[in-house]
Structures are given as structure tokens and as C-alpha cells.
């Protein structure tokens, strides 16, 4: 960029555009670095929250799956018992009514 000279209003010194670009670039760079650090901190917090949620969901899934499996086994055993009782009752009645 050619060195164009501007008159600074606050003091009567001349400032080059190249110097202004450097100053603005440094300020923007430091602001972007600060924003980057904030996003990194937020990202770390979200990672912790995500891990805790996954652990909670895994515990809940294990609890529900384990108990659901046990409940299904209990229902099957109950149905077999009821079916056996019905068959025994029918056998008893058929023998009794002969």
C-alpha cells in the first residue's frame, strides 16, 4: 500500500495509512484472540455438560433396559404359570366330569 499521509485531528502530526493498518490490525487481532479464548472456554464447558449428560443417559438407559428385560422375563414366567394353571384346571375338570 502506498504511504498516503493523513492529518490527525487531535494533534497536527501526520500519520501514515500503513501505521494505521498496523494499529487497527493489532487491535482487531487482540479482540479476535479474546473472542477465541471465550469460545474455547464455552466449548470446554459444553464438553463437560455433554459428557455429564451422556453419563446420565447411559445410566438411565441401563436402568430402564435392565428392568425392562427383567419385567419381560417376569411376564413370560407369569404367562407360563397361568397357562400351566389353566391346563391343570382343564385336566382336573375333564377328569372330574367323566
More confident residue, 63 or 36: 36
Radius of gyration of the chain (CA): 39
Average pLDDT over residues 47-64: 87
Dihedral angle sign, alpha carbons of residues 15, 18, 21, 26: negative
In this prediction, residues 48-52 reach a mean pLDDT of 91
CA–CA gap between residue 23 and residue 21 (Å, rounded): 6
pTM above 0.85, yes or no: no
* Consecutive H or E run containing 80: helix 17-96
What nine digits make up the cell of 1? 500500500
DSSP single-letter state for residue 7: E
Backbone angles phi, psi at 5, to 5 degrees: -100, 135
Amino acid at each position: 500500500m502506498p504511504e498516503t499521509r493523513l492529518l490527525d485531528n487531535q494533534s497536527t502530526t501526520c500519520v501514515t495509512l500503513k501505521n494505521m493498518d498496523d494499529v487497527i490490525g493489532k487491535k482487531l487481532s487482540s479482540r479476535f484472540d479474546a473472542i477465541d479464548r471465550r469460545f474455547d472456554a464455552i466449548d470446554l464447558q459444553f464438553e463437560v455438560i455433554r459428557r455429564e449428560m451422556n453419563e446420565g443417559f447411559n445410566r438411565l438407559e441401563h436402568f430402564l433396559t435392565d428392568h425392562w428385560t427383567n419385567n419381560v422375563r417376569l411376564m413370560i414366567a407369569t404367562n407360563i404359570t397361568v397357562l400351566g394353571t389353566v391346563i391343570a384346571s382343564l385336566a382336573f375338570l375333564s377328569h372330574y366330569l367323566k
